[in-house]
Amino acid sequence: MNRNPPSEEALPREFAEAWFSRLYREHEREILRYALRRSAEPQDAADVVAETFLVAWRRLRDVPDGDGARLWLYATARRVLANQRRGLERRTRLTERLREELRRQVPVQSPNEHRKVLEALAGMKDDDRELLMLVGFEELAPSEAASVLGISAISARTRLHRARRRLRARLAEQGERKQPNETEMWEAR
């Protein structure tokens, strides 16, 4: 069923609220997890979630139906995050509470045995890392990751193959190297 209103007439608010609530219920956690994996500080993920869903709220007509909504939200979150990293994104008042909860509850440090993998990821080129994360963490199919990144599915598969090879090489290289501080690692991205 297509839940989008068929015409360009004003979106009825009741319709918008119901649809947005469903969108939020179904996908907010996915976007939060996406943001947590990519934010230097856990509380920053709250801003990404808020801004992403604020975009969705204001552009409900643009949000695709079905599973496309999830990919649309990931792509939007990706751009919000990019703006945040470039210092172009504002912090919103909407997130005070969620920021505080994330700051309080989410541990900043990962267990030692996982830092090696995260360090290897952090040291990769942005495009390679993002592709690997979308497939490895978000568990998207390569074609879905391609949609999020705005590249062709063929290109995604080629790059994914290359990225896996590089990650494998980095993990092998690391072997016995000293583990860096995780904060230094993320801040070095």
Least distance between other proteins and beta carbon 5 (Å): 10
How much is the CA Rg of the chain, to the nearest whole Å? 18
Least distance between other proteins and beta carbon 67 (Å): 19
92 near other proteins (CB under 8 A): yes
- How many binding residues for other proteins (CB under 8 A)? 76
Least distance between other proteins and beta carbon 124 (Å): 12
Terminal CA-CA length for the chain: 42
36 near other proteins (CB under 8 A): yes
Among 2, 6, 7, 88, indicate the residue that binds other proteins (CB under 8 A).
88
Least distance between other proteins and beta carbon 18 (Å): 10
Least distance between other proteins and beta carbon 69 (Å): 15
Nearer to other proteins, 21 or 66 (CB): 21
Among 3, 28, 157, 174, indicate the residue that binds other proteins (CB under 8 A).
28
What burial letters (b/e) apply to 110-134, b meaning 16+ CB within 10 Å? eeeeebbeebbbbbbeeebbbbbbb
In the region spanning residues 112 to 171, those forming contacts with other proteins, defined by CB under 8 A, are: 113-115, 117-118, 121, 127, 132-133, 135-137, 149-150, 164, 167-168, 171
3-state secondary structure 51-111: HHHHHHHHCHHHCCCCHHHHHHHHHHHHHHHHHHHCCCCCCCHHHHHHHHHHHHHCCCCCC
Q: Using DSSP, how many helices (H) and how many strands (E) does the chain show?
A: 9, 0
What is the C-alpha to C-alpha distance for residues 64 and 53, in angstroms, rounded to an integer?
14
99 near other proteins (CB under 8 A): yes
Least distance between other proteins and beta carbon 68 (Å): 18
| Residues 46-75 as x/- pattern, contact with other proteins by CB under 8 A | x--xxx-xxx-xxxxx--------------
Distances (CA, A) of 49 to 8, 28, 29, 38: 27, 7, 9, 12
